[in-house]
Amino acid sequence: MSDVLTPDQRHRNMAAIHSTSTKPELKLRNALWHHGFRYRVNDKRLPGKPDIVLPKHRTAIFVNGCFWHGHIGCKKFKLPDTNRLYWEEKIDRNRARDINNWHNLEVQGWNVINIWECELEKYFFQETLNRVEAEIIANGKEYRFRQEERRATNKAYREMRKGQREREAELKLEIKAIR
Report DSSP letters for 74-143, one per residue: -TT----STTHHHHHHHHHHHHHHHHHHHHHHHHTT-EEEEEEGGGGSTTTHHHHHHHHHHHHHHHHHHH
Give residue 96's pLDDT.
96
Which of 152, 120, 148, 134 lies closest to 59, judged by CA? 134
Model confidence at 20, pLDDT cuts 50, 70, 90, reads confident
Pick the more confident residue, 60 or 3. Answer: 60
Stretch 155-170: mean pLDDT: 91
Q: At residue 1, does pLDDT exceed 60? A: no
- Average the pLDDT over 48-65 and give the result: 94
User: Is a pLDDT exceeding 90 seen at residue 11?
Assistant: no
* d(C-alpha 67, C-alpha 74), whole Å: 9
Domains along the chain with CATH numbers: 7-178 (3.40.960.10)
pLDDT of residue 80 exceeding 80, the answer is yes
- What is the pLDDT averaged over residues 3-10? 79
How far is it, in rounded angstroms, from Cα 130 to Cα 167? 56
Q: 116-143 pLDDT, tens per residue? A: 999 999 999 999 999 999 999 999 998 8
Tell me the mean pLDDT in the region 35-47.
Answer: 94
Q: How far is the C-alpha of 170 from the C-alpha of 164, rounded, in Å?
A: 10
